[in-house]
A and B are shown apart, each in its own frame.
Chain A
Amino acid sequence: MSLTQPAVLSPALSRNAPGLDMVASLRRVWGLMYRHLTLFRRSWPRLLDLAYWPVLQMVIWGFTSRFFAARLGNHGAVTIGMLLGGVLLWETALRSHLGFAVTFMEEIWSRNLGHIFVSPLRPWELLMALLGMSVVRMLLGVVPAMVLAFLIYHFNILSVGPVVVLFALNLMMMGWWIALGCISLILSQGGGAESLVWSMLIGLAPLACVYYPVSVLPHWLQMVALALPAAHVFEGLRAAIGSGVILWGHLAWAAALNLVWLTAAMLLFMQQFYAARRNGALMNIGE
């Protein structure tokens, strides 16, 4: 068949009927994910890089918690659980955040945005692809650390119970809306804002109360911390490990806060995306 045959005559192409729009959307999401997954398939250093930091954190905090546990006697196992559970769940948030934002930045670095944004890819499909890659990157980073925690320290985060999935989901959502905020900043301020991606969530760690209860903070700072879903999740994690109690109130707060923050971040992204189309930033972003 000739390359130049009109499209309507080609079996290799088809225009979608309206009912098939969702299939076309899923294909576009997959197309963008395939582009990034292909890079991982070809480059073992990229794969290693994903797992390197979570595993390193796990090793350091594992031995640290063992040291403290030896001095705490009967409470040792609980201490190890709280610290290692904190490490694993915090890495879940961090890897989700970086997975989302770095995938977008890779499009900037490869100067590919000009092709992507003139294709029929909708902004929400771009976000779905970033979200999918965020989950893949998070799993590739956190699962090796989970396995290591089990093998070296005999700590199984899943032993906390099914509620750990809800903890992780909330932290992933927090990673996504912070990443969306970072991407919005890049669209608004250009490549100069890229460095914030690496430090944004780490900078919130003191307020997330990963390794200590919220009550340790000064009263005024407690209010700020409790505006973050992570503070509620880690309060819940400590209660679940320490006393086997599930604090549904904290989980509900975390989910509600995530919904509010995620909605705000999406509105900000849409606004900045439109602004970037208006001021020409999509044509020269990264320069």
Chain B
Amino acid sequence: MFPQFGRMQAIVVEALTKRYRAALAVDGISFSVGTGETVGLLGGNGAGKTTTIAMLLGLLVPTSGQIHLLGHDMSRDRFAALARVNFSSPYVALPHRLTVAENLRVYCHLYNVRQVDRRIAELADELDLHDFLHRPAGQLSAGQKTRVALAKSLINRPELLLLDEPTASLDPDTGDIVRTWLERYRAESGCSILLASHNMDEVSRLCGTVLMMKQGRIVDRGTPGELLARYNRDDLEDVFLDIARARTAPVEYGDTEVQAALEEP
């Protein structure tokens, strides 16, 4: 346990590795996410972003390495952490035949949220769900589904939110609404967010720190501005392409940040 991180760090990952037989999906990555910080995981398909998030959520057991969420060691105390964390991904569905309200009710129970009706009403107000609150989840548009998925991910007012491509398959307008809403939520709640995305604009806009992943490793990291300066580019997408196509030799990033945090008295 790292008690100091309970107050200071929402996520501490150290030397995290996931190996599937011969394939190395995640290769000894280390990073931390501070309280109230939004960190982006950026990388191409197969870079290891989803695998990393799955390990953070306890859905996947790491081959080696350590994960602490909100001060809880995920190898020993994951259920205590999961009660304070939530997750959203367009690739994980909610039961289609249940209405939006019924789905939210189920998750209120799973996260032990009291005053269920009141909580559903709050979420319906904030995310403007009233028009389809009593419609089956399977009959919603992509934008409506995203709002419902966000409502589900906020059901327990998480202190840490893990988002896997939250605006994938959304039109620009709906995507912008979701991003604006996430910005507001983070600012008002002080929640920490780890965001995996392919969308460079989204990452530039939302994230204070960006972790660039390639072939299971974090090959660079910094604020969007630092990365642009380091690669001498105007656009994060060009930085992404430089790294993906190895046009500029990436700086192999060490564990200094995490080590410094660990050694902190």
Interface residue ranges, A against B (CB under 8 Å): 1-7, 10-16, 24, 27-28, 30-32, 34-35, 38-39, 42-43, 110-112, 114-122, 274, 277-280, 282-283
Q: For B93, give its contact among A39, A112, A117 (CB under 8 Å).
A: A112
Given contacts A6-B190, A114-B92, contact A1 B122 (CB under 8 A): yes
Total CB contacts across the A-B interface at under 8 A: 135
A111 to B94, CA, bound (A): 7
> Can you list 18 A-B pairs with a CB-CB distance of less than 8 A?
A4-B184, A6-B189, A24-B112, A28-B110, A31-B106, A32-B106, A34-B105, A35-B102, A39-B95, A42-B97, A112-B94, A115-B92, A118-B82, A120-B79, A120-B83, A122-B79, A277-B61, A283-B60
Q: Which residues of B contact A2 (CB under 8 A)?
A: 126, 188
Q: Which residues of A contact B60 (CB under 8 A)?
A: 277-278, 280, 282-283
In this assembly, does B119 line the interface, its C-beta being within 8 Å of a C-beta of chain A? yes
Q: Is there contact, CB below 8 Å, between B185 and A28? A: no
B97 and chain A: residue at smallest CB distance: A39
Q: For A34, give its contact among B85, B106, B119, B189 (CB under 8 Å).
A: B106
Q: Is there contact, CB below 8 Å, between A35 and B106? A: yes
Given contacts A3-B125, A4-B184, A12-B118, contact A110 B93 (CB under 8 A): yes
Q: Which residues of B contact A274 (CB under 8 A)?
A: 61
Q: Which residues of A contact B110 (CB under 8 A)?
A: 28, 31-32, 116, 119-121
Given contacts A16-B112, A277-B58, A283-B54, contact A7 B159 (CB under 8 A): yes
In this assembly, does B140 line the interface, its C-beta being within 8 Å of a C-beta of chain A? no
Q: Is there contact, CB below 8 Å, between B125 and A115? A: no
In this assembly, does B157 line the interface, its C-beta being within 8 Å of a C-beta of chain A? yes
A274 to B61, CA, bound (A): 8
Given contacts A118-B58, A283-B54, contact A27 B112 (CB under 8 A): yes
Q: Which residues of B contact A13 (CB under 8 A)?
A: 113-114, 119, 156-157
A161 to B122, CA, bound (A): 54
A35 to B109, CA, bound (A): 10
Q: Is there contact, CB below 8 Å, between A10 and B112? A: no
A121 to B107, CA, bound (A): 10
A121 to B111, CA, bound (A): 8
Q: Is there contact, CB below 8 Å, between B98 and A114? A: no
Most chain-B Cβ atoms within 10 A of its Cβ — which of A39, A120, A280?
A120
A161: shortest Cβ distance to chain B, in Å?
39
**What mask results when residues 33 to 56 of chain B are scored 1 for a CB within 8 Å of chain A, else 0?**
000000000000000001100100
**What mask results when residues 69 to 91 of chain B are scored 1 for a CB within 8 Å of chain A, else 0?**
00000000001101111010101
A282 to B54, CA, bound (A): 10
Q: Is there contact, CB below 8 Å, between A115 and B108? A: no
B67: shortest Cβ distance to chain A, in Å?
13
State the 5 A-B residue pairs at the shortest beta-carbon distance, nearest first.
A31-B109, A4-B188, A114-B92, A7-B157, A3-B126
Please, how many residues of chain B have a CB less than 8 angstroms from a CB on the other chain?
A: 55
In this assembly, does B96 line the interface, its C-beta being within 8 Å of a C-beta of chain A? yes
Given contacts A7-B156, A42-B97, contact A120 B122 (CB under 8 A): no
Beyond A31-B107, A114-B91, 11 additional contacts (C-beta under 8 Å) are: A2-B126, A3-B125, A4-B184, A12-B115, A12-B122, A35-B98, A114-B92, A118-B58, A274-B61, A277-B60, A283-B50
Q: Is there contact, CB below 8 Å, between B111 and A120? A: yes
Given contacts A13-B114, A13-B119, A42-B97, contact A117 B189 (CB under 8 A): no
Q: Is there contact, CB below 8 Å, between B59 and A118? A: yes
A118 to B89, CA, bound (A): 12
In this assembly, does B168 line the interface, its C-beta being within 8 Å of a C-beta of chain A? no
In this assembly, does B152 line the interface, its C-beta being within 8 Å of a C-beta of chain A? yes
Q: For A14, give its contact among B61, B98, B114, B126 (CB under 8 Å).
A: B114
In this assembly, does B218 line the interface, its C-beta being within 8 Å of a C-beta of chain A? no
Q: Is there contact, CB below 8 Å, between A30 and B109? A: yes
Q: For B157, give its contact among A6, A32, A42 (CB under 8 Å).
A: A6
Q: Which residues of B contact A15 (CB under 8 A)?
A: 83
Task: State which residues 141-165 of B face A: CB under 8 Å.
Answer: 152, 154, 156-159
B96 and chain A: residue at smallest CB distance: A110
Most chain-B Cβ atoms within 10 A of its Cβ — which of A16, A27, A116?
A27
Q: Is there contact, CB below 8 Å, between B115 and A11? A: yes
B152 and chain A: residue at smallest CB distance: A115
Given contacts A28-B112, A118-B59, contact A5 B98 (CB under 8 A): no
